[in-house]
């Protein structure tokens, strides 16, 4: 295996009008490991993830997935130029995305949600796609719920279907944007356990999360963002261990109040 990181971000800048949300982010996410992005609200962590998923177009900077440029590359004269749609599709196919709001399509069953792209995008016959979708649902423990519509599933179940939907396309990298933030603690547990299993299977994961306990126990790398800048990065032991960066100390205080102290 080469030492090319699964995700490499260089000098990423994102502005919305006059507001600079990301001010020159450099980030490497190692292959086969879990990288957690943490930080206070408005620090730009979700925007960073959305740039990597190409749901937002970065204002400046470069993103590479497995060494291949995503969205923008270098032109013949060294200028930043937009890459053709075909290249974008090909690189994007390596990435799976899971949202805070699940975003299942309400008019399709759990099975339909998972099978949709297999049929529509990859032209797989319906029967084969359904079989594959069923296998993916089984992996997240929801084979019995395959024929249910999203409205008939709990939040935790919906999020597990959303994870299965992304995994069915066999991505190399999974992005998670606050996957448990709209779930109550009980349902959070079932989603985190699916994510733990995925991490154990060697999936490269980049996770924006407020679950400090999950980050500390599953991630090999923690990245702390603050005001659009990468403030601290390193192994959980280094980032959370003492002495801590004063900004992290301050940030963690809010969690220690909520009983996470024992996890660190």
Partner 1 sequence: MTSLLGYLGGEDGRNILSGLVNTCVLWVVGTLLGTVLGFLTAVARRYGPRPIDWLLKACVEVIRGTPFLVQAYLLYFGGPYLCLELGGASACLTLDPFEAGILGLTIYAGAYFSELFRAGFDAIPRGHIEAATTVGLDRWQTLRRIILPEMTMLVLPAMVNMSILLLKETAVLSIISVKELKFQVDIIGNRDYAFVEAFTILALVYWALVELCGRAGRYAEARLSRYRFAHS
Nearest distance from residue 107's CB to partner 1, in Å? Answer: 5
β-pairing, 68-69 vs 229-234, is unpaired
Q: Which of 78, 106, 243, 246 binds partner 1 (CB under 8 A)?
A: 106
- Applying CB under 8 A, does 176 fall inside the site for partner 1? no
- Applying CB under 8 A, does 182 fall inside the site for partner 1? yes
Q: Which residue stretch of 24-32, 57-65, 120-128, 187-195 sits at the interface with partner 1 (rule: CB under 8 A)?
A: 120-128
Q: In terms of Cα–Cα distance, which of 65, 61, 69, 74 is closest to 26?
A: 61
By CB under 8 A, the residues from 138 to 157 that bind partner 1 are 149-153, 155
- Applying CB under 8 A, does 83 fall inside the site for partner 1? no
Q: Which residues contact residue 6 at a Cβ distance below 8 angstroms, ignoring those fewer than 6 apart? A: 29, 30, 31, 32, 65, 66, 172, 173, 204
- Applying CB under 8 A, does 55 fall inside the site for partner 1? yes
Nearest distance from residue 236's CB to partner 1, in Å? Answer: 28
Q: Which residue stretch of 53-61, 132-140, 186-194, 244-252 sits at the interface with partner 1 (rule: CB under 8 A)?
A: 53-61
Q: Which of 42, 84, 101, 234 binds partner 1 (CB under 8 A)?
A: 101
- Give the tokens for residue 252: 């963690």
Q: Which residue stretch of 20-28, 58-66, 161-169, 253-261 sits at the interface with partner 1 (rule: CB under 8 A)?
A: 161-169
- Applying CB under 8 A, does 110 fall inside the site for partner 1? no
For residue 125, report the phi and psi dihedrals to the nearest 5 degrees: -60, 145
Phi-psi group of 24: left, alpha or beta (phi > 0 → left; psi -120 to 50 → alpha; rest → beta): left
For residue 90, report the phi and psi dihedrals to the nearest 5 degrees: -65, -45
Nearest distance from residue 262's CB to partner 1, in Å? Answer: 32
DSSP string, 103-132: ---TTS-HHHHHHHHHHHTT---HHHHHHH
DSSP string, 242-259: SSPPHHHHHHHHHHHTTT
Whether 143 and 132 have beta carbons less than 8 Å apart is answered as: no
Nearest distance from residue 146's CB to partner 1, in Å? Answer: 15
Task: Compute the 3-state secondary structure of the chain and give helix, strand, coil in percent, each to the nearest 5.
Answer: 40, 25, 35
Q: Which residue stretch of 15-23, 41-49, 57-65, 93-101 sits at the interface with partner 1 (rule: CB under 8 A)?
A: 93-101
Instruction: Kindly list the distances between the CA atom of residue 125 and the CA atoms of 120, 213, 239, in Å, as whole numbers in the listed order.
Output: 10, 42, 48
Return the number of the residue (80 or 89) whose C-beta is nearest partner 1: 89
- Applying CB under 8 A, does 208 fall inside the site for partner 1? no
- Applying CB under 8 A, does 66 fall inside the site for partner 1? no
Nearest distance from residue 45's CB to partner 1, in Å? Answer: 17
- Applying CB under 8 A, does 123 fall inside the site for partner 1? no
- Give the tokens for residue 239: 């980032």
Distance from C-alpha of 140 to C-alpha of 158, rounded to nearest angstrom? 11
Residues at the site binding partner 1, with contacts judged by CB under 8 A? 53-55, 89, 92-93, 95-97, 99, 101-107, 116-117, 120-122, 149-153, 155, 158, 162, 165-166, 169, 182
């Amino acid at each position: 295996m080469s030492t090319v990181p699964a995700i490499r971000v260089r000098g990423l800048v994102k502005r919305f009008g006059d507001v600079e949300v990301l001010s020159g982010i450099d980030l490497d996410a190692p292959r086969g490991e879990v990288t957690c992005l943490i930080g206070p609200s408005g620090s730009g962590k979700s925007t960073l993830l959305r740039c990597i998923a190409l749901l937002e177009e970065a204002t400046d900077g470069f993103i590479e997935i497995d060494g291949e440029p995503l969205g923008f590359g270098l032109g013949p004269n060294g200028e930043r130029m937009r890459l053709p749609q075909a290249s974008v599709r090909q690189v994007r196919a390596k990435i799976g995305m899971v949202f805070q709001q699940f975003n299942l399509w309400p008019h399709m069953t759990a099975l339909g949600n998972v099978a949709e792209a297999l049929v529509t995008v990859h032209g797989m016959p319906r029967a084969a796609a359904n079989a594959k979708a069923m296998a993916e649902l089984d992996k997240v423990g929801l084979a019995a719920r395959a024929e249910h519509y999203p409205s008939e599933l709990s939040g935790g179940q919906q999020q597990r279907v959303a994870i299965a939907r992304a995994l069915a396309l066999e991505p190399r990298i999974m992005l998670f944007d606050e996957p448990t933030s709209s779930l109550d603690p009980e349902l959070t547990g079932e989603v985190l356990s699916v994510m733990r299993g995925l991490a154990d299977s060697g999936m490269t994961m980049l996770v924006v999360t407020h679950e400090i306990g999950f980050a500390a126990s599953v991630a090999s790398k923690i990245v702390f963002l603050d005001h659009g800048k990468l403030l601290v990065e390193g192994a959980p032991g280094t980032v959370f261990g003492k002495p801590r960066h004063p900004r992290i100390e301050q940030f963690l205080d809010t969690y220690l109040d909520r009983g996470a102290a024992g996890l660190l």
